[in-house]
Structure 1
C-alpha cells in the first residue's frame, strides 16, 4: 500500500507543512480534511471486507487528488 500522507507526498515541504498546520487555521482545515479522506481510503483498502463500493472508493480517491492539489497550491502561495 502506498503512503499518501502529505509529508510523504511533499517531503521537500515537510517543515512548511508542520509550521502551517500549527499556525494557519486555513491550512490546518485543509490538512485535516485531506488526512481524513486519506485515512478513510486506507481503511477501505486495508480491510479484508470492503464496506464500500468501487464507485465510492474511486470518488474518494478523486477527492484526495483535488485536496492534494489545493494543499500544494496553498503551500506554494504561502
Structure 2
C-alpha cells in the first residue's frame, strides 16, 4: 500500500533550492539524484501493481533508496 510520494523535494522541502542548484552544478549529485528518482518510481509502480511482489525485492529497493537518500542528504547539508 503506497504511503505517499517520496521524491527528494518532498523528503527535504527545506533544501528545494539547494537540490536544484546541485542538480545543475554537481554531476555526482545529479547522478545520485537520478538513481534515487528511478528507485522511487520503481517502488511506487510496484506498490500500485495488483500482482504480488516478493518482500525481498521490495526490501532491497527500499534499502537502495535509503542509502541514496542518506548520501544525497549529506551532500545537501555540506
Fold shared per TM-score above 0.5: yes
SS in 2 for 1:73: helix
Of 8, 11, 15, which aligns to 2:10?
8
Higher relative contact order (CA 8 A, sep 6+): 2
Q: Please state if 1:54 is matched with 2:52.
A: no
Cα distance in 1 for partners of 2:14, 2:34 equals: 20
The gaps in structure 1 that reach 5 residues or longer are none
Q: How many equivalent residue pairs?
A: 76
Of 36, 45, 54, which aligns to 1:34?
36
Instruction: List structure 1 runs of 4+ shifted beyond 2 angstroms.
Output: none
TM-score, structure 2 normalization = 0.90
- Cα deviations by residue, 1:28-71 (Å, 9 ceiling, x for unpaired): 00100100011110010011223x31111011111111110110
The gaps in structure 2 that reach 5 residues or longer are none
